[in-house]
C-alpha cells in the first residue's frame, strides 16, 4: 500500500472519531426534557 493512501485513510479515521466524540459531547450538553419552559423538573432519570 502506498504511503499517501495510508495517510489519507488514517486521517479519515481520525476525523470520523473526532466527529463522533464531538457529536456525543454536544448531545450530552443539551438539557433533558423540554428545556425548562413548561415547569417540569428537567431532571434526567
Q: Can you give the pLDDT at residue 27?
A: 87
Asked if residue 31 is part of any domain, the answer here is no
Total number of domains constituting the chain: 1
Domain annotation covers residue 37: no
Q: Tell me, what's the pLDDT at 31?
A: 62
In a domain, 7, yes or no: yes
* 13 within domain boundaries: yes
41 belongs to a structural domain? no
**Full domain range(s) for residue 1:** 1-25
Q: What is the pLDDT of residue 33?
A: 60
Q: Left, alpha or beta for 43 (phi > 0: left; psi -120 to 50: alpha)?
A: beta
What's this model's pTM, rounded to 2 decimal places? 0.61
pLDDT tens-digit profile of 1-45? Answer: 899 999 999 999 999 999 999 999 998 887 666 655 666 665 655
Q: Is residue 34 part of a domain?
A: no
DSSP-assigned states of every residue in 32-45: STT-STTS------
Instruction: Please check whether residue 40 lies inside any domain of the structure.
Output: no
Amino acid at each position: 500500500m502506498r504511503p499517501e493512501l495510508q495517510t489519507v485513510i488514517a486521517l479519515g479515521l481520525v476525523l470520523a472519531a473526532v466527529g463522533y466524540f464531538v457529536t456525543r459531547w454536544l448531545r450530552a450538553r443539551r438539557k433533558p426534557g423540554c428545556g425548562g419552559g413548561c415547569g417540569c423538573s428537567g431532571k434526567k432519570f
